[in-house]
Each structure stands twice: as C-alpha cells, then as structure tokens.
Structure 1
Amino acid sequence: MPTLRMTTPRLLALRTLLAEPERERYGLDLALEAGLEPGTVYPILVAFENAGWLVSREEDADPHTTGRPRRRYYRLTPTGVSAARRAQAASEQRRRPAGAREGVAW
C-alpha cells in the first residue's frame, strides 16, 4: 500500500470524510464541505482510492432524467478510517510546539 504525503487539502478532505465515515459522498459535495476546489479534490480522491483508503461506485442514474452527469460516490474503507485517523493525529502532533502541555500554563 503506498504511503501518502499529507498536505493541507488532503487533511481537509480526510476530516470531512471522517465526520461521517459510513456516508457515501460525491466529489463536488465533498469539495464544498471541505472548502476545497473540485479540481483539487478529485486528484485527492483518486490517490486515496489507489491507496485503498476509499472505495467508489458510479451511481445508477440516467443523465437525461437527472439533467446532470452520473456521480461517482466515495466511501472510506475500514483501512481508510484507521489511516485517516492516524494521519490526523500525526498532523496535530506536528502542529503542537515541542514541550507544549495541555491546558493553560500560568
């Protein structure tokens, strides 16, 4: 399984996906919720899927009936949930200054 470099956009996408790990989301929905541009989120989704963190499916809808292209829905895998939580924890650890403690230091 490839190791993914965690960028801010990837962490934002993971945070959004982890909010409801069982929920299927389509790319534009995820982009809006994460505060990302669609052109940014789709390569992230492909990378996560290639790493085994996501599974996807194309909706079974007629574009002529819906008036829009078919959507591809993405959902975190159990491996993806674990990896996303580890990535978020590592990111939070890096942001904390060395020697910082929880709570107020008076």
Structure 2
Amino acid sequence: METVLALSIGIVFGSGIWLVLRPRSFQVLTGLMLMSYAVNLFIFAMGRLTVDQPPLTPAGTMPDPALLADPVPQALVLTAIVIGFATTALYLVVMIGARGLTGTDHVDGEEPEA
C-alpha cells in the first residue's frame, strides 16, 4: 500500500511540475493545485497508514497510541486545503484580470509568433 501511495503522490506532483512549466496561465494554476494536492497527500500519509483501526479509544479501555490515528497531520491537511482554496480563488481573479488587460492567457502576456 505504501508503494502505491508513494507512486501516486510522485505522479501527481510530477504532473503538477509539468503543468507549471506550460505557457498558459490556466495550466500553471492547475499545476499549482496538483502540487498542493500531492503535498497534502504526503502530509496526510505521515500520520501512519493503518487499515481497520479505530480513530477513537473505545469506552472503558486504556488508549494505545500505536493503534490510534494521529490527528496532527489531519489538522494540517485540513488547514492546507482551506488555504489552497483561498489562494486558488485569488489566482483565478488575477488570471481573469490579466486576461482582460492583455487579451491573452499566455504567461508572458504575448502569443508566440508562428
């Protein structure tokens, strides 16, 4: 399971890097979002990958930290998702404004000459 997760995080992050290097601003924005999703998955995976383990301690038992999920990476990822939505909205507004001013969505502001 760890290998599949590591490969999927690497593929998503690599796709994000490839899109960031593209000439259109929407592709750059999509690449930034993919990279942030990959980082969120990585942080979330740092809280241990366990299957069929309870997130809370059953009533009347002593808690065993090795059997419980770590809430800190979950809280960090939740905060990162909220911040990611806000920055994506800001990027979209700037991208729409730049397209209105320049008439193109090319990152240099000019279409390449053919």
Structure having the larger proportion of residues in strand = 1
* Pair in the same fold by TM > 0.5: no
Structure having the larger proportion of residues in helix = 2
TM-score, structure 1 as length reference: 0.28
TM-score, structure 2 as length reference: 0.27
